[in-house]
Structure 1
Amino acid sequence: MLFKSYNNKSFKQTEYYTRLPKDEKEIFDVLSSVFHFKVNNYVLAHLINWEAIPEDPIYKLVFPRKEMLSAFDYEKLKQLFKIGLDEKTRIGFVQSVKKKMHPEVKHAETGFPKIDGEIITGGYRNFPTILNLFPDPMVKTCHAYCSYCFRWVAFDNTEAQKKTAYRDPYDPIPYLKDNPEITDVLFTGADPLVLKASAIKKYIDPVLEIESVQVIRINSKALAWWPYRFTTDKDAAALLELFRYIQSKGKHLNFCAHFTHAKELENEVVKEAIQKIRETGAVIRCQGPLVKGINDTSEDLIALWKEQIANGLIPYYLFVEADHNPESCFRVPLAKALRVFQEAQKKTSGLARTVRGPVFMNDLNRVLLDGVTELNGEKYFVLKSLQSPPETNGEGKIKLIPFDEHTKDAGDLFELFKEKELEMNQIN
């Protein structure tokens, strides 16, 4: 299969657009004027059940939802479309909507790596032993876009890319040499594997020469969105050879695959791709978010973990929305997230116990929603810091927040896990 992608305009020329119910066409037309949209022929032909629109989980995962906008903004945009205003005329209102939807991503100033007081563009170090790297080509796009992804503002946004990515493969090397406590380097994006193997190698090669770096991590949704990347793409063999090359340099290669629903693992081409990656010696760990209406039942998680284990993958993290998006149509109430996760683990193989969850993951903290407890007749959610910036001294600590059956928000995790805050054993 040759890769072919579609944006909001070219998708309307496909047979799939004609198969959408009238209401879904309207929603697509309105929302794709605000949010970047990208899908490919594999997702359209093999992952979406077009007889189950709009409830099909993969359809919900790729196509924007009406609830992503406020009722007022959606209705106003719909009226602009109905009266026939062209794109140039609508642009003012669309831009105002985009501004309101801009994700609120918090960064710790100490997380930006510096040499001689100068920030190294394209790096971020929220935890002591890992450096996240964002090479410029890797942050530009994915094989398809997830509707919930907070990175949508970066797609086709060259100004954002200039501020957060680097071009010269050797830019982060002096920092890695000066900080031998960094053992893991994570290449992420958007998606690193949209690049040719030769381009990826160009950025990884200099890092492989740093003796203190023991682990190379690659985060990607390519297995779910375009498994042919590892089977029949022109440089599929070269990519797999790159994986072997990384390990021949004495490094552990952790391939972190992003899966949201079991349907993404059911195709034979996915199974073939997984086998080819595993044959290189790379370890595939799986992570993904809990998303309302897509995988927010225990049955969904059981099916997902069973498929992962059956294919030799390691369930790793189940994330919950932290604070990236101002709207909450993707979020699941914390009480439900905990209940669904615990029920699913009880009914799956013990091998599924490798998955940590539900976990809040923002750019400052990795916090586990560890349970519910009761003190002095009051119920609390128990939060445990799995990782946090070193200056907060929060790692390993436990905090309590008031239990609410309906809340979707854990509050400011950065402030919560600062050293000045009370620890659980200090609460009377």
Structure 2
Amino acid sequence: MIFKSFNNKTFKNTPYYDRLPEGEREVFDILSTVFHFKANNYVLEHLINWDEVPEDPIYKLIFPRKEMLSAFDFEHLKQLFQLGMDAKTRNSFVQAVRKKMHPEVKHADTGYPEMDGKIITGAYRNFPTILNLFPDPMVKTCHAYCSYCFRWVAFDNVEAQKKTAYRDPYDPIPYLKANPEITDVLFTGADPLVLTASKIKEYIDPVLEIESVQVIRFNSKALAWWPYRFTTDKDAEPLLELFEYIQSKGKHLNFCAHFTHARELENDVVKEAIQRIRQTGAVIRCQGPLVKGINDTPKDLIALWKHQIANGLVPYYLFVEADHNPESCFRVPLAEALRVFQEAQKETSGLARTVRGPVFMNDLNRVLLDGVTEINGEKYFVLKSLQSPPETDGEGKIKLIPYDEHTKSAGDLFELFKEEKVPLAQMH
């Protein structure tokens, strides 16, 4: 299969647009002016059951839904369309809506690495032993866009990309050499595997020469959205050879695959892609969020984890959407998320116990929703910090917040787990 990409305009020229119910076509026309949309021919032809639209889970995962906007904003945009206003006339209101939808992701000043008093652009260190790297080409796009992704604001935004990414492969190297406690380097972005193997190698080669770096990580949705990247693409063999090359340098290669629904693991091509990656010696761990209407039942998670284990993958993290978006249509109440997770684990192989969850993502601390406890007749959610920022002593700390079966938010996790700084030397 040859990769074909579709945006909000070119998708309308496909037969799948005509298959949408009339109401869904209207929703797509309106929301695709606000949110970035990208799909490809594999997703459209092999992952979505068009007879089940709009309830199909992969459809919900790709296509923007009405609930992503406030009822007022959606109706206002709908009226502008019905009045026949052109895109230029609508633009001011669209931009105002986008501004309101801008994600609020908390970062700490300590997370931005510095050398000689200057911040290293394109690097972020939220935990002591890992450095996240954002090479410029890797932050620009994915093979398809997830509807819940908070990184949509960087797509097609040249200014945002310049501020959060680096171009010279040697930019982060002095910092890594000066901080040998950093053992893991994570290449992420949008998706690093949209690049050619030769371009990826340019950014990895300098890192491989640093003895203290033991693990190279890729975060990618490519296995789900375009498995041909590892099978029949013209660059598939060079990419797999790159995986082997990384490990020949004495590094462990961790491929963190983003899977949200079991259907993403059902096709023969993704199974072949998985086996080809595993044959290079790389370990594939799986993570993804719990998303309302897509995978929010025990049955959904059981199927997801069973498929992962059957294909030799390691269930790693089940995230819950943190409070970084103004809307909450993707979020599941915390009590429900905990129930779904615990019931699913009871009915799966013990091998699925490797998955940690529900875990809050996109905040500074990595926080586990560990259960519910009762003290003096009052119920509380139990939150545990799995990892905390450098120069803090928060890891392993337990915090309690009042139990509310309806709440979808744990509040400000950054403030909740904020600890006094400790000298880095005392942590080793």
Q: CA deviation at 1:16?
A: 0.2
Residues 209-224 of structure 1 aligned to structure 2 (within 5 Å): 209-224=209-224
Q: Is the 8 A contact 2:106 2:414 kept in 1?
A: no
* Equivalent residue, structure 1, for 2:304: 304
Counterpart in 1 of 2:291? 291
CA distance in 2, matches of 1:393, 1:91: 47
Residue 418 of structure 1 deviates from its aligned partner by: 1.8
**Contact 1:126–1:363 (CA under 8 A) maintained in structure 2:** no
Measure, in 2, the Cα distance between the counterparts of 1:158 and 1:65.
26
Report the residue type matching 1:359 in the other structure.
V
Structure 1 position 66, deviation (Å): 0.1
Offset, 1:322:
1.0
Task: Write the letter of the residue equivalent to 2:97.
Answer: V
**Counterpart position of 1:5:** 5
Match of residue 115 from structure 1 = 115
Answer with 149-158 or 356-365: which moved more.
356-365
Q: Which digits, 9 at most, give the CA deviation of each residue in 1:173-205, with x for residues without a partner? A: 000000000000000010000000000011011
CA distance, structure 1, for counterparts of residue 84 and residue 332 of structure 2: 37
Question: 2:392, 2:207 → 1: CA distance?
Answer: 28
Partner deviation per Cα, 1:270-308 (whole Å, 9 max, x = no partner)? 000000000000000000000000000000000000000
Matched, 1:195 2:195: yes
Amino acid at match of 1:233: D
Amino acid aligned to 2:77? L
Partner of 1:354: 354
Aligned to 2:146: 146
Look up the match of 1:371: 371
Partner of 1:327: 327
How far apart, CA to CA, are the structure 2 residues paired with 1:237 and 1:326?
Answer: 42
Measured in 1, the distance between the counterparts of 2:413 and 2:9 equals 40
| Partner SS, residue 93 of structure 1 | helix
| 2:58 is equivalent to residue 67 of structure 1 | no
CA deviation after TM superposition for structure 1 residue 390, in Å: 2.9
Which segments of 5 or more consecutive residues in structure 2 lack a partner in the other structure?
A: 421-428
Shift of 1:419: 2.9
What stretches of structure 1 of length at least 5 have no aligned partner? 421-428
> What value does the CA root-mean-square deviation take over the aligned residues?
0.6
Residue aligning to 2:162: 162
Cα deviation 1:94-120 (Å, max 9, x = unaligned): 000000000001110000010011000
Please give the TM-score of this superposition, normalised by the length of structure 2. 0.98
Q: SS of the residue aligned with 2:386? A: strand
Question: Which secondary structure does the structure 2 equivalent of 1:400 belong to?
Answer: strand
Count of aligned residue pairs for this structure pair: 420
Kindly state the Cα deviation for residue 234 of structure 1 after the two structures are TM-superposed: 0.5
8 Å contact 1:33–1:94 — kept in the other structure?
yes
Alignment check: 8 A CA contact 1:385 1:398 kept: yes
State the secondary structure of the residue aligned to 1:51: helix
Please tell me whether the aligned partners of residues 392 and 417 of structure 1 are also in contact (alpha carbons under 8 angstroms). Answer: no
The 4+ residue runs of structure 1 with deviation greater than 2 A are: none
- Report deviation, 1:363: 4.2
Percent identity at matched positions? 86
The residue type equivalent to 2:120 in the other structure is I
Contact 2:255 / 2:284 at 8 angstroms: preserved in 1? yes
Q: Give matches, 1:124-135, under 5 Å.
A: 124-135=124-135
Q: Are residues 1:396 and 2:396 paired?
A: yes
Task: Tell me which residue corresponds to 2:341.
Answer: 341
Tell me the SS of whatever aligns to 2:348.
coil
3-state secondary structure, aligned to 2:167: coil
Tell me what 1:51 maps to.
Answer: 51
Counterparts of residues 85-104 of structure 1 (less than 5 Å): 85-104=85-104
The superposition leaves residues 340-382 of structure 1 with CA deviations (integer Å, 9 ceiling, x where unpaired) of: 0000000000000000000002241100000000000000000
Return the offset for 1:85.
0.5
TM-score (norm 1): 0.98
